[in-house]
Amino acid sequence: EADIYQTPRYLVIGTGKKITLECSQTMGHDKMYWYQQDPGMELHLIHYSYGVNSTEKGDLSSESTVSRIRTEHFPLTLESARPSHTSQYLCASSATGREQYFGPGTRLTVT
Amino acid sequence: EDQVTQSPEALRLQEGESSSLNCSYTVSGLRGLFWYRQDPGKGPEFLFTLYSAGEEKEKERLKATLTKKESFLHITAPKPEDSATYLCAVQLYSGGYQKVTFGIGTKLQVIP
């Protein structure tokens, strides 16, 4: 059973606010990922990390930033939220870089 | 451009009616193919990894197979609890970054 947690599960916030989406895993996985998924659409990778102090941008351009100070923690921050950021954000981790274990997701709505 | 195409987009089955979902890919240097199950409002749940043509994996009513250009997820005698979106993903050899590309998924509904 994968143990990966995301908070909050749902967030409604006004334009211009700064937000941080939390992701934690207890499996000791080095590799962690952030995906964005709109309804009925495929997952798009926005950030990934292969270990502490290692972060890279993914395939989908994003105005968000991430940090990886501890192995188990991989938060995603939006400095100024906009309606175009409304989406579902999924965090995942992996030991091998192959099969990934996903958290429950954060549904973000920016008004 | 690397692509993953899943078909059909949606599938409605009667309970007990077996069927197959398809995932075709146009990539070079396949490192692995993955199947996930995603329930509404939740993150994907890992099901299978397939590495080479001819390989098969089974779990309960699900069996995944792989050829050189496509994978099938066979569902035998499905039950309503098998209703979900099934995602296929492929991983490529791409330098230091192990790129994974996801398909849009097949939404399966199993009717009692």
Provide mean pLDDT across the span B13-35.
Answer: 92
The pLDDT of residue B94 is above 80: no
pLDDT < 50 regions, chain A = none
Mean of pLDDT values over B18-45: 92
Report pLDDT for B83.
Answer: 98
Cβ neighbour number for residue B64 with a 10 Å cutoff: 24
CB contact under 8 A, B98 and A41: no
Best of A42, A46, A107 to substitute, by most chain B Cβ atoms within 10 angstroms, is A42
Do residues B23 and B32 touch, judged by C-beta distance below 8 A? no
Q: How confident is the model at residue B96 (pLDDT cuts 50, 70, 90)?
A: low
Least confident of A63-67, A78-82, B59-63, B90-94: B90-94
Statement: residue B98 has pLDDT above 80: no
In percent, how much of chain B has pLDDT > 90?
Answer: 79
Mean pLDDT of the B88-92 span = 91
Q: Please, which pLDDT band fits residue B26 given cuts at 50, 70 and 90?
A: confident
User: If interface means Cβ-Cβ distance under 8 Å, which residues of chain A face chain B?
Assistant: 2, 6, 40-43, 45, 48, 56, 59, 90-92, 97-105, 107
Average pLDDT estimate for B28-50:
93
- Taking contacts as CB-CB distances below 8 angstroms, the residues of chain A near B102 are 42-43
* Contact flag A43-B32 (C-beta cutoff 8 Å): no
More confident residue, B27 or B56: B56
pLDDT confidence of residue B27: 74
Give phi and psi for B37, each to the nearest 5: -110, 135
Cβ contact (<8 Å) for B43 and A98?
A: no
Token pair for B4? 């993953």
CB contact under 8 A, B97 and A56: yes
| Residue B97's pLDDT band (cuts 50, 70, 90) | low
- Probe site for chain B from A99, A101, A102 (most B CB atoms < 10 A): A99
Residue A92, φ and ψ in degrees, nearest 5: -140, 160
Mean pLDDT of the region B67-94 = 93
